[in-house]
Amino acid sequence: MEAHPSVLKTVLMFTPIVLIPAMSMDVYVPSVPRMMELLHTSQASIQMTLSIFMFGMSLGQLLMGPLADHYGRKNILQVSLLIYAAATLSCALAHHVLPLIIFRLIQSVSACGCIVCAWACVRDVYSAEESSSVYSYLNGAIGLAPILAPIIGGYLLYWSDTWRSGFFFLSFWVLGCLALATWGIKETLLVRSHQRLDRSVLRHYWKILKSEQFLRYTFGAAMGMAALFLFFSISPILLIQQLGVAEHHFGFYFGAVALVFFTFNMVCPRIHRTLGNAKTLLLASVFFILGPILMILWHQVWGLSAAGVVVPTLALYIGVGLIFGPSTAGSLAPFPQMAGTAAALFGAFEFGIPCVLGAVVMHWPITSMVSYALPLLGMGIICFTWSLIAVVRK
């Protein structure tokens, strides 16, 4: 990358890389019911392969951030991609659910290097205002994963008749990303900016945690990720198992929701230029209140149906599409000298909070969207109140 590349070039360069964690979640979602059958295991065990990925993404951020600040973005990115490729191939070859869970954990920790290094590279090169646009476009690109990956995964399952095909697909994908990282991306961390790798890392974490701005925007991103993760977990059970939607058609239902996410990620930079970070976050939190309320009302009036799963989620995902760009930019803006460490802590909360929520929700009987709506409604109210206070203070 040049000293100050165009936004378009940066987005095109990093899109395949930042898609890796999202593709890892989405491409095998249509295979979840089939995996339960062929691996002779329970719904809870298969759901653990999703939850453990979120846990690893949370834990791995705390490791990858300081490493990226110390050794450089490109080095950590290349090593992460190599480990990811090996772990993904091991997932494809697993014959029992326990090894699959273990390799999913390794896969997720290495996937952290992709996100942390991408976010840190953007913060290295662009100003806080410019970076918000880049983050929104990259998050919009990530929105392509829920549109395309379940469709790809569903048809891979349909054509190959094995859930392993999704993991083989991911292995080839990441090898292409490794080539891109090796020959297309240059180091963006200046030598004089390298952070020491010692106990000072803990002091940096504490300094970041004392920032009210960091906590407010990070909570917004965690709320958005919770909406994504819980829908990944619940929708195949409701649509495929309970409503009988065909596995290779599932991706189209999923994609309709993801298309709204993608669209509003794309328009978010324009809204952000008008409203700024704080007001955009406030606007997003309004949809996090309206969407869950609509889910609950729909269930009470019409009961469980495919439309009842998808239509209320469309309203919610307007907020999801608006929330990631300003949340990422707002949380990292105060820490230009330790962007990797800040991005790591940001990611730890962004993935850790949904992981805890998912573990709780998946213990409830999944018979409607109500179990999805209630925790998001609570988070939406908190985020709205917190954002409103920040706007009033200004």
Give the model confidence (pLDDT) of 310-352 as tens digits. 999 999 999 988 988 888 888 888 887 777 678 778 888 988 8
- Whether 191 shows a pLDDT value over 70: the answer reads no
Separation CA 315–CA 243 (nearest Å): 22
- Whether 198 shows a pLDDT value over 70: the answer reads no
Separation CA 80–CA 16 (nearest Å): 14
- Whether 360 shows a pLDDT value over 80: the answer reads no
Residues contacting residue 38 through CB under 8 Å, at least 6 positions apart: 163
- Whether 85 shows a pLDDT value over 70: the answer reads yes
Separation CA 122–CA 134 (nearest Å): 7
3-state secondary structure 131-164: HHHHHHHHHHHHCHHHHHHHHHHHHHHHHHCCCC
- Helix then strand count (H, E) for the chain reads 14, 0
Q: What is the pLDDT of residue 193?
A: 54
Residue (of 163, 127, 118, 120) closest to 21 by Cα position: 118
* Backbone region of residue 161 per phi and psi (left: phi > 0; alpha: psi in -120 to 50; beta: other values): left
Mean pLDDT of 14-26: 91
- Whether 3 shows a pLDDT value over 70: the answer reads no
The CATH architecture that domain 7-393 belongs to is Up-down Bundle (1.20)
3-state secondary structure of 305: coil
- 197 φ, ψ (degrees, to nearest 5): -105, 80
Residue 152 CA neighbour count, 13 Å, CB half: 20
Residues 327, 220 contacting (CB under 8 angstroms): yes
Separation CA 199–CA 203 (nearest Å): 7
Q: What is the pLDDT of residue 109?
A: 93
Separation CA 21–CA 104 (nearest Å): 11
- 186 φ, ψ (degrees, to nearest 5): -105, 160
Q: What element of type H or E holds 29?
A: none
**pLDDT tens per residue across span 41-75:** 887 788 788 889 988 988 888 888 778 888 888 99
3-state secondary structure of 334: coil
Rounded to 5 degrees, what angle do the CA atoms 263, 267, 268 make? Answer: 110
Residues 94, 31 contacting (CB under 8 angstroms): no
**pLDDT tens per residue across span 117-156:** 988 888 788 876 777 778 878 877 877 777 788 889 889 9
Q: What is the pLDDT of residue 174?
A: 95
Mean pLDDT of 358-381: 79
State the residue for tokens 């890392």.
Answer: 201
Separation CA 141–CA 14 (nearest Å): 9
Residues 324, 224 contacting (CB under 8 angstroms): yes
Residues contacting residue 13 through CB under 8 Å, at least 6 positions apart: 1, 5, 180, 184, 185
Radius of gyration of the chain (CA): 20
Q: What is the pLDDT of residue 135?
A: 80
Identify the band that residue 97 occupies on the pLDDT scale cut at 50, 70 and 90.
very high
The amino acid present at 111, given as its one-letter code, is A
Burial label for 301, CB within 10 Å (0-12, 13-18, 19+), is exposed
| Overall pTM > 0.85 | no
Residues contacting residue 307 through CB under 8 Å, at least 6 positions apart: none
